[in-house]
Amino acid sequence: MPEPRRPLVAANWKMNKTVAEAGDFLERFVASIGGLEAVDLVICPPYPALATAVEWTERTPIRVAAQNMHFEAEGAFTGEVSAAMLRDLGVEAVVLGHSERRQHFGETDEALARKVPAALDAGLLPILCVGESEDQRDAGETEEVLAAQLGADLAELDGGALSGVVVAYEPIWAIGTGRTATTAQAQEAIAFIRSRLAERDAGQAQAVRILYGGSMKPDNAAELIAQPDVDGGLVGGASLDPDDFLAICRAGVR
């Protein structure tokens, strides 16, 4: 029997919360995580709030993640931040390939292929986002899109490193729209992702955590995370409120 996968729930704050607002959230959140020992908790603040988030979560199991990084360690890349810089700050994870970065900021599969190993090499947990647009789903291309993204984004990953990656299935049509994938759609897509990973390494694919993201809320989280291949959630809008986010984290307790 493979080891059961530990659920992971991550709050993607996107471009929200000042340092003071991040502190207010974390003061409440840190005080309320009793009973969540079985769930990996991750908070992804914007860059300016990373240091305060690291301070608030010191001596707690909560991990702080950045929302992006560059694949080079240093150099002439104005506006960019490296994995080593994030580690230096106490950051432990990083979201890579979020659809908003792919859509609005030119994030490419080629760059992601370098970012995933760069994150791992620096000791960051990469949370790699993949997902199809509404048009692609309507055209029956969901699996083709997911397979292409996984193939390209994990192309430069060392053979043994697969199980150290977290994948988030985020259908673009469900992000920030209030439209959640049905449990069947989430399970089907995530099982497909696992089957693709299994073509690289069947054993490691069983260990990879695959999250669902897209309008996850306190009232739909439990049903989504109860699906056999869904190992947690990447939560945008509903993660801005500590009570809503806590409720979603509690839905991750199996």
* Beta carbon nearer to ligand PEP, 199 or 243: 243
Question: Is 12 an interacting residue with respect to ligand PEP (CB under 6 A)?
Answer: yes
Read out DSSP for 88-133?
A: HHT--EEEE--HHHHHHS---HHHHHHHHHHHHHHT-EEEEEE---
Alpha helices in the chain (DSSP H): 19-30, 50-57, 83-89, 99-104, 109-122, 134-138, 142-153, 183-200, 202-207, 221-225, 242-251
Instruction: Check binding of 216 to ligand PEP (CB under 6 A).
Output: yes
**Nearer residue to ligand PEP within complex by CB, 98 or 196:** 98
Query: Are the CB atoms for 52 and 46 separated by under 8 Å?
Result: no
**Residue type for 164, please?**
G
Pairing type for strands 8-12 and 93-96 reads unpaired
The residue of the chain with the least Cβ separation from ligand PEP equals: 236
Q: In the bound complex, what is the minimum distance in angstroms from residue 178's beta carbon to ligand PEP? A: 8
Binders of ligand PEP among residues 223 to 242 (CB under 6 A) are: 234-238
Q: How far is the CB of 169 from ligand PEP (least distance, A)?
A: 10
**Residue 45 is a binding residue for ligand PEP (CB under 6 A):** no
Decide: is 123 part of the binding site for ligand PEP (CB under 6 A): no
Q: Give contact residues for ligand PEP (rule: CB under 6 A).
A: 12, 170, 175-176, 213-216, 234-238
User: Could you list the active site residues?
Assistant: 98, 170
